[in-house]
Structure 1
């Protein structure tokens, strides 16, 4: 089970997902090589043995970077199994490249949130609640 974040680029910067209209679509983010380099710059030692999947293991936890099949790349799905320290490089990645990180469980943009860690905190609480339901007292 992972905290999933969709990283993409729109024609403009949105402050809330409710602002995205039906007419909007993703804008190409860059070539596959450019996206891999951008990710690897902030998530050092990300493995790219599969060109559409990056695997990062670090002190804060792990992140799988699933790039769209398109080249140029239209989106990257992040599958994080990590603590709150993973938020800062995600926000930095988006701000540096004009991308947006949509928390798929909270429906908010991580880089726009007053407390960027809030979505991860809520997801972890939910995960812990679900995991605890199968345990006997």
Structure 2
């Protein structure tokens, strides 16, 4: 099972997706080459041999970086497998470097380093359905 989060630019005062004005268009993150340079700087251990689809592997998790080929880059989708709260460190490090907010697709909520209950809920659900992650 995969937990998906989206990195995108949203108004700073939006506490949830419900606070985002209707018709709001998220500004691009930047040119593709600039976004890739930020990823390489912030997550140097990430494998970007396929720049459209990078991967970062931790001790108990893997993180797929769906950057795509669109230029400019509008958002970055992260696909997270495994377990452990340490996966949130690169998620928020990258979001901060890109000037993004983190949207939990499973819950539909914005998450922060202090409020990431969606990750915990995902792990609990996954464990009930498939058993604990290896």
Residue 80 of structure 1 aligns with which residue? 80
Residue 109 of structure 2 aligns with which residue? 108
The 1-side partners of 2:69 and 2:25 are apart by 16
1:47 lines up with 2:47 in the alignment: yes
Give the C-alpha shift of residue 107 in structure 1: 1.6
Give the C-alpha shift of residue 60 in structure 1: 4.7
Equivalences for 1:85-100 in 2 at 5 Å?
85-100=86-101
The 2-side partners of 1:58 and 1:114 are apart by 21
Q: Are the aligned partners of 1:68 and 1:75 in contact in 2 as well (CA < 8 Å)?
A: no
Shift of the 59–44 alpha-carbon distance from structure 1 to 2, 3 Å rule, reads farther
Gaps of 5+ in 1: 133-137
The 2-side partners of 1:5 and 1:86 are apart by 12
Shift of the 15–68 alpha-carbon distance from structure 1 to 2, 3 Å rule, reads farther
Give the TM-score, by structure 1 length.
0.82
Gaps of 5+ in 2: none
Q: Are the aligned partners of 1:55 and 1:65 in contact in 2 as well (CA < 8 Å)?
A: yes
Give the TM-score, by structure 2 length.
0.84
The 2-side partners of 1:129 and 1:5 are apart by 21
The alignment covers a number of residue pairs equal to: 129
Residues 74-103 of structure 1: CA deviation (Å, up to 9, x unaligned): 011000114210112222222333211101
Backbone CA RMSD of aligned residues: 1.8
